[in-house]
Amino acid sequence: MIYFLIFSVFINLILLFLITKNKTQENNNKKKISDEYVKGLNYLISQENDKALDMFISAVNYDDDNIETHIILGNLYRNRGEVNRAIRIRQNIIARPDLDENIKFDCMFELARDFHKAGLLDRSENILSQLINDNKKNSDLIKIYELLSSIYEQEKEWGKASKVIQDLQNLSKKDYSDILSHYQCELAENEFSKYNENSASNAILFAEKSLSYKKDSVRAKILLGDIYFFKKDYDKSFYYYTSSFEQNPSLGYLFVDKIKEIIVKTNDNGILNKLEKIFSLHPNYSYFNEQIKISDSLGPEYIAEITSKALEKGDHSFEILEKYVDLILEGKIAADNESIQKIKSFISLFSKYDNHHICEDCGFSSKSHYWQCPGCKKWSTISRVKLKDHIDSDTYVIK
């Protein structure tokens, strides 16, 4: 509906322009142009888009003054999802001899956008590469690099994307360190996925380069923890995991299983002492489940204590309450089992709402964590939300 309204406004403006123009022009050639426009607009109103397109393309062959109008018309076609029609308009304009260089750039750039929207990434990339060679204006290059980086992201060409973003950063003077850091992590993960010593060593170099762009990159630290775990360098692995945990406890669930394995493999009491110290430094209980997972090492009394404190504080997910119920049923906390069982049954009805991941920018929701939001394509915007975030504080009803 919105695009139909835009088309209607666009049509009315052109009609007004043509009527005014015809009152002051007697030239037969101009009259022919106006006739072509009016026929094309009538076809548009009648939703005969193919006939309308033929009329507009015919008008392009005569009209030197209103090529910008056709570029806008092509954009409207593209926004309506009629990319093939937009492409035909651009190609006919570009084919004109003696076309103004600025108009040619605008038209070729829009053609690259058309191909991009159509999923013809190679064609879009080729046009943008040509425009980079032909244009030296910073404002033009910035637009080109922004679109080109999007294409390389879709193609997962992280090395090329990194080069383009660096050029974009130099031109625009904006800070793209977070994006560059993620690109290096993508390269590191590609290497690490080969699961051999050489690739793991290469992955470390990419992850360390990620930290050079963004020294507090939790993703890079977790990745280094994973790589050193694979290499059986448990001291370094534990260091990067705990560094990540101290920086962002809510992401601890991504590596807590490996921390538990490190405890088992090393049998190092010093590691347990470090963990307990780290846990004690954080006033919230967002890491509760991580503590529960290593409860065999920390001891049941410790777990019973932190469970009770978490419930008293109220800064918890329903998983904590469920664990509390488990402890009661196990006889580790004294209570009436029958009443607690009813609480547990009630809680289980709402557990599906817990531990969802939400994009802070666009609201994309999923059960899994993503470093790049599948919805808006922005980096580092996904975070885990708990059930309490879904409950209205006034009515206690699920939002």
Domain boundary, last residue among 249, 268, 287: 268
Q: Is 188 in the same domain as 167?
A: no
| Inter-residue contact 221 to 240 (CB < 8 Å) | yes
Q: Is residue 128 part of a domain?
A: yes
Q: Which residue has the tokens 């206690």?
A: 396
CATH number of the domain encompassing residue 362: 2.20.28
Structure tokens at 151: 């294409």
Judgement on whether residues 97 and 221 belong to the same structural domain of the protein: no
Q: pLDDT tens digit string along 272-315?
A: 778 777 776 664 545 566 666 665 556 667 667 666 666 555 44
Same domain, 257 and 197: yes
**Considering 237, 268, 299, which residue would you say is the last residue of a domain?**
268
The amino acid that residue 249 corresponds to is: P
- Based on the structure, what is the number of domains in the chain? 3
Q: From CA 350, how far away is CA 201, in angstroms rounded?
A: 44
Query: What value does the mean pLDDT take over residues 116-132?
Result: 95
Same domain, 112 and 255: no
Rounded CA-CA distance 309/324 in Å is 10
pLDDT tens readout for residues 215-229: 999 999 999 999 999
Assign 208 to helix, strand or coil.
helix
pLDDT in tens, 3-47: 454 455 455 445 444 444 444 444 444 444 445 555 555 555 455
Range of the domain at 163: 2-171
| 119: pLDDT strictly greater than 60 | yes
Q: Are residues 118 and 241 in the same domain?
A: no
Domain check: are 24 and 104 in the same one? yes
User: Is the confidence at residue 180, as pLDDT, over 90?
Assistant: yes
Spatial separation of the C-alpha atoms in residues 248 and 341, rounded to whole Å: 34
Q: Residue 220 is which amino acid?
A: A
If asked whether residues 69 and 199 sit together in one domain, one would say: no
Q: Does residue 165 sit in the same domain as residue 179?
A: no
Over residues 364-383, mean pLDDT: 92
Residue 324 lies in a domain: no
Report the mean per-residue pLDDT for the chain.
Answer: 78
- The domain that contains 249 carries what CATH number? 1.25.40.10
